Structure 1
């Protein structure tokens, strides 16, 4: 068993007794090909929760500071995370993400760039659109609907894939594609609720 699979099982074992996870739309997740998995970001637990519920291995882009943490820094590369410098153009992170996508694998990122403290979806950064257009990948929108409170339901909803071919054909901008991605995430947030 590789460390990613072990970590996925460990996260499930630790978190499942605390929260009542409901995963919706896993059947929408393409079984192969490059996928950019884009989710809203409401809690530090979001990356392991998305990784736990996604049907494919996810390579997460994580802020560089986390890789300098004593224990976490040595674990992250072994569970397919790679560093990105925040607030600047990080060419190495760009190259890494594009290579993963072009290899037909899944890159996970949170287009808002940081956690939303009030749960309201913020404007997405244009990097999401850039990766979607340049990475020869389609986009899987995802929404995490909380709150993360003990013994309460947390929904992880995977929407319909956003096919990128039409956007590439008409040379759409990264900003436009990011807006489409964020609108798809917002639609999931509007359509689902832990109270439904």
Structure 2
């Protein structure tokens, strides 16, 4: 299913009504390229993270989302229409999701990933690095926290170079540095 831009835009407007009253402070938004392939990857603290990151980035992003969210036919229709990509977190190598992500990036789209695999996860998985290297897409690290208001920090883009473990290590360090700010 081809994502529907109007549906994405409506979602951003509606979720903004939830995010802005709480407050939103964004640092480094200029580090997210306006156009072209990019992966925005960060920590995952809550269900609102994709919306908060999208609003803060001011850039259309297609997020990887656990396949369980696509179980209900109506929600599946919504998720696909806003451009989300289902991923099987139980599979070590969900090749279909990886191919879909690479194709989206090759079409110069933006991709959102939570490389820790789950809300509150502590270990960064190598999938973000694999996708970045295959698609030749920079990774912009992002750290989200909710302290009364939403705080979003974007880091410097990380070029897709080296091996999967090397790039994963670079990304993990960048995310940890953003957490310390």
Paired residue for 1:181? Answer: 171
Paired residue for 2:14? Answer: 10
Q: TM-score, normalised by structure 1?
A: 0.85
**Of 150, 154, 157, which aligns to 1:158?**
154
3-state SS of 2:11 partner: helix
How far is the alpha carbon of 1:185 from its aligned partner?
A: 1.0
Paired residue for 1:36? Answer: 39
- Corresponding position: 1:127 with 2:132: no
The CA distance in 2 between the partners of 1:96 and 1:8, in whole Å, is 23
The CA distance in 1 between the partners of 2:81 and 2:68, in whole Å, is 16
Change in Cα spacing, 1:71 to 1:52, as seen in structure 2 (3 Å) is farther
The CA distance in 1 between the partners of 2:123 and 2:23, in whole Å, is 29
Paired residue for 2:107? Answer: 103
What RMSD in Å do the two structures reach over aligned CA positions?
A: 1.5
How far is the alpha carbon of 1:32 from its aligned partner?
A: 2.1
The CA distance in 2 between the partners of 1:105 and 1:174, in whole Å, is 22
**Of 94, 98, 102, which aligns to 1:94?**
98
Q: Please identify runs of 4+ aligned residues in structure 1 that moved more than 4 A.
A: none
How far is the alpha carbon of 1:123 from its aligned partner?
A: 1.8
* Gapped regions of structure 1 (runs ≥ 5): 192-196
* Gapped regions of structure 2 (runs ≥ 5): none
3-state SS of 1:14 partner: helix
Q: TM-score, normalised by structure 2?
A: 0.91
- Corresponding position: 1:139 with 2:139: yes
3-state SS of 1:33 partner: coil
How far is the alpha carbon of 1:14 from its aligned partner?
A: 2.4
How far is the alpha carbon of 1:128 from its aligned partner?
A: 1.1
How far is the alpha carbon of 1:69 from its aligned partner?
A: 2.6
Paired residue for 1:25? Answer: 28
3-state SS of 2:90 partner: coil
The CA distance in 2 between the partners of 1:178 and 1:185, in whole Å, is 10
